Chains A and B, each alone.
Chain A
Amino acid sequence: MTTSEPSLPRENFLNCDYSIRSWLLTTDHKRIGLLFLVSITLFFVLGSAYAGLIRTELLTPRGDVVSPQNYNKLFTMHGLIMVFFFLIPSIPAVLGNFLIPMMIGARDVAFPRLNLASWYVFSIGGVFTIITAVSGGVDTGWTFYTPYSSIYSNTSVMTMAVGVFITGFSSIFTGLNFIVTIHKMRAQGLTWFRLPLFVWAIYATSIIMVLGTPVIAITLSLVGLERLFHIGIFDPALGGDPLLFQHLFWFYSHPAVYIMILPSMGVVSEIIACFSRNRIFGYKVVAFSSLAIAVVGFLVWGHHMFVSGQSAFAGLIFSFLSFLVAIPSAIKVFNWTATLYKGSISYDTPMLYALGFIGLFTIGGLTGLFLATMGMDVHVHDTYFVIAHFHYIMVGGAIMGFMGGMHFWWPKITGRCYPESWGKLSALVIFIGFNLTFFPQFILGYLGMPRRYHTYPAEFQVLNVMSSAGASILGVGYMLPVFYLFWSLRNGPIASANPWLAKGLEWLTPSPPPTDNFEQTPVVTEEAYAYRPEETASG
C-alpha cells in the first residue's frame, strides 16, 4: 500500500464537529453509515454469542449445557439477530450509505433526513430485540412459522415480531433512498453503463428491499392479530391455512437472501477489478445479472415448501425457477474469474476476502442446486445440509464480502491504513475457521442429522466437535479485525486519497472525504474500471 507524506487531513466529515449531538442529528450519509456500522457490530457480537452457545451445546451428544427450550431460543435469536439486524443492513446501510453518493459524484443521498430516520427506526427495532433477548427470547425459529408462533409458543413472540416489523421500515427507507439517488443524482457524464458494479448491485438490492419488505410487515401483523385476538387467516381452527403463512413469509425471506448476497457481489466486483488491474470481463452482463437475480429471486420462494404440503406441480415450477436463478449467479462467478485472467494480481487483504468469497459462494451456490432438486431436497430437508448451504452463502458469501469491502474502503472512511499483515492473517484465519465450522455440517446433514435439536446420536460427535472447533477459530478471526481496525484509527499510517490506485469517483476525493464529498463536482468521461486505458478504446 502506498501512502502519501504523513500530513494530518484538513477539515473532513469526521473532524468537522466532535459533539455527540452532531452525530445523532447528522444528515451526512457518511456519518449515518458509520452509525449503522456501530449498531450492526453490536448485534453481530450478540448474534455470535448465541452461535457460540449453540456450538458449545453441540460438543457432546447429550443435552448438557442448556435445556431443550433454551436451545430453541438460542438458535431462534441467533437467526433473527444475524438476519434482520446484521446481514440485511450490513453492506447496504454501512458501505452503501458511505459509498453510493460518492461513487455517483453526489453530495448526499436524495433524502438525507429520511436516511437518518432509517437509522433511528433500525435502533427502535433493535431495542425491541434487546428487550426480547432480556425477557427470555423467542423459541419459534427465526421463521415464525404458524400456528406455533400464533397459538402455542409462550415466549416473547410479539415483542420480537414488532422489532422485526419496525426494522423492516429502516430497510425500506434505505432502499427507497438509493433508488432515487441512483436514478436522479448521478454526476454529469455518469451514464448507467459507466456506473461501478457496486452501484448496480445496490440498486438491485434496493428493489428487493422496497418490494419485499412490506410483505413480511403485513404477514407479521397478521400473526400478531392471530396471537392477540385469536382471529386470523393462518389458523386451521379458524378456517385458515398455515401454508399461506409460509408462502407470504418466504415471498420476502427468500429474496432477503439476495438482499444479503447481492451487495457482497458488488463489493467483489470492485475488489477483483482493482487487484487484478483489469476491466470487469463482460461488464454489462454482470450488471444485468444483478437485476436478473433480483427479479427471478422473487419467483423461487416455493422451494422452501417442497415437503410442506404444497402441490407437486407447484414444487416442480419452483424447482425449475430455482435452477434459473443460478444462471445469473454463475455468470458473475465466471466473469470474475475471467477478469483475473492475464491480470496483474496482487494479494492484498481485500483481494484475499474476494477470492475467498468466490470459492465459498460457489460451494454455497452449487449445494443450493442440490436443494432445488425436489428428490434430493426431501432427503436433506431440515438437516444440517441446509444449515451448511445457507451459511456458505450468508457467512462465506455475504460476510466475506462485507469484510473485504470494509478493508478495501477503510482508508477512505477513516483516513488511516490498517496493518496489512494482520489483515491477511485475519482473512486466512476466517477462511480456515469458516470451512472447519461448516464443511462438516454438509456431511452431518447428508448422514441425516436434523437441524434444531440439542441432542444427537453419538456417531455424529466427531464431526460436531470439528464444527465447534472451527467456530472458535472463526470467532478469533472475527475478533482480530475489531482490534486492529480500532487500533489503526489512531496509530495506522495516514492514507492518501487513493492508496490502492483504484478507479472510481470515491477515490478522487481526499481520505477521509470532506462533508460535501467533493471540492468540485466531478465530470465523468470514461467507463468504470479503466485500469488499462490503452485497451478500453477497443472495448
Chain B
Amino acid sequence: MDESHAIVAHQFDDAGQQRESALLGMWVFLATEIMFFGGLFAGYTAYRFQYAEGFAAASHHLDMLLGAINTAVLLTSSLTMALAVHSAQVGKKPAHIVGWLILTMLFGCAFLGIKVIEYHDKFVHHLVPGASFAWEGALARQAQMFYYLYFAMTGLHAIHMLAGVAVVLVIAIQAARGRYTPQYHNPLEITGLYWHFVDIVWIFLFPLLYLIA
C-alpha cells in the first residue's frame, strides 16, 4: 500500500467500505476463536458434571486472590485499550494513543506474570498433570482431570494474551509514526476487539475454574 495517501486499498471503493470490512472480518475471526475455545469448554462441561466432587476439591487449591487480582488487571487493560481506540477516534496526538497502548501492554504483561507465579506454585505442589502429579486423598484422577483442563484452558488463553501483547506492540509502533487518524484507524480498532475478546474469555474462565464449590 502506498503509505502517503492511499489509505483505501485498491479492492475497496471508499474508506467506509474498508472499515466495515475490517470490523466484520474481525468479528468473524472472533466467532472462529469462540469455537476454538469451545472444544475445551465442551470438555470442561462434560467432566464438570461427571466429576463434580473432584473438581470442587481441586479448585480449592487455586489461589482465588491471585485469580481475582488478575481479573481486575485484565479488565483495566480493556479500559486502557478502549481509551487508546477512543483517542484515535477523536484525533488525539499519537503520544496519547501510544501511552494508552503501552499501559495496555503493561497490564497484559502483569497478567501473564501473575499467571507464571500461579503455574510455578502448581508445579511446586505437584499439581501439574502427568507422571509427577500427586494428590492427597481420594479422587486423584478427577483432580488431575481438573488440572489438565485448568492448564489447557488458561494456557490457550495465555497464548492468546501473548499474541495480543505482540500485536499491540506493532500497533503502538504504527501509532507512534502517526499512522492512525480519526479517518483511518482500522488496525487499532480491530486489535481492540481482539483484546476485549481475550478479556471476556478470562471472565468465563475465572468463575469456572476458581469459584466452584
Contacts and interface: CB of A to CB of B under 8 A. Distances in A.
A56 B144 CA distance: 48
Contacts of A239: 47, 51, 141-142, 144-145
Contacts, number: 102
B95 to A, nearest CB: 30
Interface in B99-146: 129-131, 141-142, 144-145
A47 B149 CA distance: 37
B50 to A, nearest CB: 8
Contact of A107 (B10, B28, B42, B152): B10
A111 B28 CA distance: 13
Chain A contact surface mostly = helix
Nearest to B43: A233
Contacts of B130: 229-231
B11 A108 contact: yes
A225 interface: yes
A233 B42 contact: no
Interface in A138-179: 172, 176-177, 179
Interface stretch (B33-41, B79-87, B164-172): B33-41
Interface residues of A, number: 41
A233 B47 contact: yes
Interface string A178-221: 01100111000000000000000000000000111111011100
A240 B46 CA distance: 10
B35 A215 contact: yes
Interface string A99-119: 001000011111110000000
A469 interface: no
B47 A180 contact: no
Nearest to B1: A113
B28 A176 contact: yes
Interface in A236-260: 238-241, 244, 247-248
B68 interface: no
B183 interface: no
B32 A213 contact: yes
Interface size class of B (residues with CB under 8 A): 35 or more
Interface residues of chain B: helix, strand, loop or mixed (majority): helix
Contact of B152 (A210, A225, A240): A225
Given A184-B24, A222-B152, A214 B145 contact: no
A477 B39 CA distance: 41
B20 interface: yes
A231 B148 contact: yes
A232 interface: yes
B51 A214 contact: no
B145 A238 contact: yes
Contact of B39 (A112, A179, A248): A248
A180 B148 contact: no
Interface string B3-34: 00000011111000100110011001101110
Contacts of A177: 25
A108 B63 CA distance: 51
B141 A184 contact: no
A240 B144 CA distance: 10
Contacts of B145: 233, 238-240
B39 A218 contact: yes
A521 B10 CA distance: 13
Interface string B174-196: 00000000000000000000000
A241 B141 CA distance: 13
Contacts of A101: 11
Given A180-B21, A231-B148, A241-B46, A106 B11 contact: yes
7 contacts: A108-B11, A179-B24, A185-B17, A214-B35, A222-B152, A238-B144, A241-B46
Interface of A: 101, 106-112, 172, 176-177, 179-180, 183-185, 210-215, 217-219, 222, 225, 229-233, 238-241, 244, 247-248, 516, 521
Given A177-B25, A180-B28, A231-B130, 18 more contacts: A107-B11, A176-B32, A179-B28, A180-B24, A183-B24, A184-B24, A185-B21, A211-B31, A212-B35, A213-B32, A218-B38, A218-B39, A222-B43, A222-B152, A231-B144, A233-B145, A239-B51, A239-B142
- Lowest 8 CB-CB distances: which A-B pairs, in order? A218-B39, A214-B36, A108-B11, A239-B141, A214-B35, A231-B129, A110-B21, A184-B21
